[in-house]
Amino acid sequence: MLQRIRLSISILVSLGLPLTTSATEDPNDEGVQLAEFSQNLAEIDAALARLQSPAKSPKPATPEHPARTITVDCNAKKPDSIAGGLAKAQDGDTIQIRGNCRESVLVQKDVILDGGGSASIMAASPDDTTIVVFGASVQVVGLLLEGPATSQITASNGGGVGVESCVIRNGSTAGVIASFGSRATVIRSELSNNRNGVVAIDSSAARVGIQFRSDAGAGPNQFIGNTNGVVATDGSTVVVVGNSIVGSSVGVAVVDGSRGLVASNMIANNGLGIVVNLGASLELANPADPSPIFATPNLGLNLQAAILCNGGSISGQIGGFLPAIQTPIPPGALSGVQRPPHAFTFCQDATVP
């Protein structure tokens, strides 16, 4: 059993918050939200434990192999399978997917899965992950992934996945997970009604809304009604730029020794806008940055607090309300509200005015 997440009891005790909830508790209360957040991360850990290591490693790259397009039509009279297409593919090929597919897909080759904006994949079982990328570099483009699944996309064991122009819904653990030293990039996609939108865990990395630090503009994603929007935990790194993150218990969480750069987002109508704790570090917009997308502060009004910090550090342009734990907590705006002098009682104040 994996033991990657150490969040629940230590955080709640240190904050003086309740460890359990009851039917009479306010779901917008910070204690309730953090307890639910802890449970969500524990479920990610359990889901990753169910991923079995495949017996074979990905085939080595063959530069002399010209890229091909292999069409998979799941609605044909004799339906194709994505697994069948992958069996024929070599590194650099594109799997062009048509129709509505019902299978759980394991990818161990450097390929593109292209749904053309209309194809869909539903996991074979609600207990499966729809697409597992194991040690390969894969692009997932123009697919609808909304059937019940543990997660819709998981990159594992040093793999990499680029997600573009997809709709990702109803992941009971997460929409997209980068795990075990993997990386994920998510741009121009919708992530809604997942337990967690995007998660980087176990020394992994995720770029959300941007592909490269040098990008002049963001590729914004829409996060709608996920329990948590973006999460970095267990020494991972996230860059979250130019997205809309609304209707979550926690918009962005950077915890357990992780690092996050969060700028130019609309983070609104969440219980907690941003959470940073357990030795994590958060960098917000830096007005001196030459790139406008990294110099623009986050915006949005959240129900409980804009930024909740416990045992981490924050740098950059705050411009938002950071309430101390021991004071009554008014609604928190991510811009336009001056932080009180005691806001960093539990957090190293490394801010730039």
Alpha helices (H) in the chain, listed in sequence order? 8-15, 30-49, 82-88, 292-295
User: What is the secondary structure of 266-330 as a DSSP string?
Assistant: EEES-SEEEEEETT-EEE---TT-SSHHHHSPPB-EESSEEEEEES-EEES---S----TTS---
The structure's pTM equals: 0.81
Please indicate, yes or no, if residue 97 is contained in any of the structural domains. Answer: no
Three-state DSSP state, 248: coil
- R_g (Cα) of the chain, nearest Å: 20
Please indicate, yes or no, if residue 78 is contained in any of the structural domains. Answer: no
Please indicate, yes or no, if residue 102 is contained in any of the structural domains. Answer: no
The reported pLDDT for the residue numbered 197 is 98
Q: Which residues of the chain have pLDDT under 70?
A: 1-64, 305, 311, 317-353
Please indicate, yes or no, if residue 118 is contained in any of the structural domains. Answer: no
The reported pLDDT for the residue numbered 49 is 60
Domain residues for 244? 8-53+150-349
Query: How many domains does the chain contain in total?
Result: 1
Asked whether 281 and 313 are in contact (CB, 8 A), the reply is: yes
Please indicate, yes or no, if residue 242 is contained in any of the structural domains. Answer: yes
The reported pLDDT for the residue numbered 318 is 55
Please indicate, yes or no, if residue 45 is contained in any of the structural domains. Answer: yes
* Measured CA angle at 154 (ends 153, 160), to 5 deg: 105
The reported pLDDT for the residue numbered 42 is 66
Please indicate, yes or no, if residue 76 is contained in any of the structural domains. Answer: no
Q: And the tokens for 243?
A: 């997205």
Please indicate, yes or no, if residue 250 is contained in any of the structural domains. Answer: yes
Three-state DSSP state, 37: helix
| 3-state DSSP of 192-216 | ECCCEEEEEECCCEEEECCCCCCCC
Number of residues assigned to the chain: 353
The reported pLDDT for the residue numbered 215 is 80
At 239, the amino acid letter reads: V
Residue 99 CB neighbours (<10 A): 16
| Distance between CA atoms of residues 53 and 56, nearest Å | 9
Q: And the tokens for 78?
A: 């004799």
